[in-house]
Structure 1
Amino acid sequence: MVTPGEIDIRRNDVSALPRFAALNAQWIEQLHHMEESDRLMVARPQIYIENGSHVFSAHIAGVVAGVVALKRHEQGKYELTKMAVDEQFRGQGIGQILMTAVEDFARNGLNLDSIFLLSNTKNAAALRLYARNGWTVNHEGPHPVYARANIGMEKIL
């Protein structure tokens, strides 16, 4: 198990963007299929640090072990999206550390009252992480835009 002191959390580190894309493409292909927005993420991961959006990356001994994005939408709403932890680092609390970093930044850096996410009930480990962190379900069933999204959650900050 890694300790928080061994993990360097960075925001909008351009050098981490290729790994951001690769880690996300890997889990998406394992559990689902790549959608148009996923192909765009792989082709142009920098869009996740433009227009008020942010990518957080967890670095351990120079390796990007996990990533997550906080994507800005219209009307100033933000979505927690594209969270992935490298298989060799799973089960070590990296997802929790990234979640805490995003929530703290949303609350204290952006002064947000809430953030939302879209997921799939196949992603059991992710749903457990969200529930442990106080996220509540606000939508179940098919999503009008994303084929794989069948659950929506919100976190009041």
Structure 2
Amino acid sequence: MERIIPFSPELSDHFRDLNLDWLEQYFYVEPHDRDLLDHCEEVIINKGGHIFFYQENDLICGTFALIKVTEDTYELGKMAVSKVARGKGIGQKMMRFCIDFAQQAGWKKLVLYSNTSLENSIHIYRKSGFIEVPIESGNPYARGNIKMEKNLSQSNS
């Protein structure tokens, strides 16, 4: 059985570990990552954000966060799938859930930061209706060389 479940404090290690595994495989862990991963409840949940987990049977094999930017704009971040579960479409399922959740919440926009070397991820984002927008100087991630957003008031999901 597969399902997407919301954050609970006992799952915070999964959030950290899934993301560290991914970051260490493709990039490196930045100070902003450490803050989000080591203190996810304080810096994401308690500030109006959300964290979700993809669960297959009893195994947590994916996660992502919706980090509050403004009342109606959230950053999709910290999306990771475990190595053993990659290639099963879990990223796309989490993306669909994320967009549905944001639309039901009445948000206007989702933004994300990524790196163009992550071709599979960029493909999923584009397929989900995200478009590239100019990236601001001083964006939160040194590895971030692309910013994308999805206007939720459009039906191009």
Asked if 1:41 corresponds to 2:36, the answer is yes
Secondary structure in 1 aligned to 2:48? coil
Q: What pairs up with 1:71-90 in 2 under 5 angstroms?
A: 71-74=67-70, 76-90=72-86
Q: TM-score scaled to structure 2, two decimals? A: 0.88
Aligned residues: 151
Q: Structure 1 residue aligned with 2:146, among 138, 148, 151?
A: 151
Partner Cα distance (1:144, 1:134) in 2:
22
Partner Cα distance (2:136, 2:45) in 1:
29
Partner Cα distance (1:95, 1:26) in 2:
16
Check 1:13–1:100 CA distance in 2 against 1; reply closer, same or farther (3 A cut). farther
Return 5+ residue gaps in structure 2 as ranges: 153-157
Deviation readout 1:82-129 (Å, 9 max, x if unpaired): 000001111111111111111111110x20121110011121111111
Q: Is the CA contact 1:72–1:79 (under 8 Å) kept in the aligned structure 2?
A: yes
Secondary structure in 2 aligned to 1:73? strand
Q: TM-score scaled to structure 1, two decimals? A: 0.88
Check 1:141–1:44 CA distance in 2 against 1; reply closer, same or farther (3 A cut). closer
Q: Structure 2 residue aligned with 1:105, among 101, 113, 116?
A: 101
Deviation, 1:41, is 2.6
Deviation, 1:55, is 0.4
Partner Cα distance (2:81, 2:144) in 1:
19
Secondary structure in 1 aligned to 2:47? coil
Q: Could you tell me which residue of structure 2 aligns to residue 117 of structure 1?
A: 112
Q: What pairs up with 1:135-150 in 2 under 5 angstroms?
A: 135-139=130-134, 143-150=138-145
Q: Is the CA contact 1:120–1:151 (under 8 Å) kept in the aligned structure 2?
A: yes
Deviation readout 1:6-38 (Å, 9 max, x if unpaired): 211112233322111111111111211111111
Q: Could you tell me which residue of structure 1 aligns to residue 64 of structure 2?
A: 68
Secondary structure in 1 aligned to 2:140? coil
Asked if 1:58 corresponds to 2:54, the answer is yes
Q: Could you tell me which residue of structure 2 aligns to residue 21 of structure 1?
A: 16
Q: Could you tell me which residue of structure 1 aligns to residue 2 of structure 2?
A: 7
Secondary structure in 1 aligned to 2:150? strand
Kindly report the root-mean-square deviation, in angstroms, between the aligned alpha carbons of the 2 structures: 1.7
* Structure 1 residue ranges (4+ consecutive) displaced by more than 3 angstroms after TM superposition: 140-145
Q: Could you tell me which residue of structure 2 aligns to residue 3 of structure 1?
A: none
- Identical amino acids, percent of aligned pairs: 32
Q: Is the CA contact 2:72–2:109 (under 8 Å) kept in the aligned structure 1?
A: no
Partner Cα distance (1:31, 1:146) in 2:
14
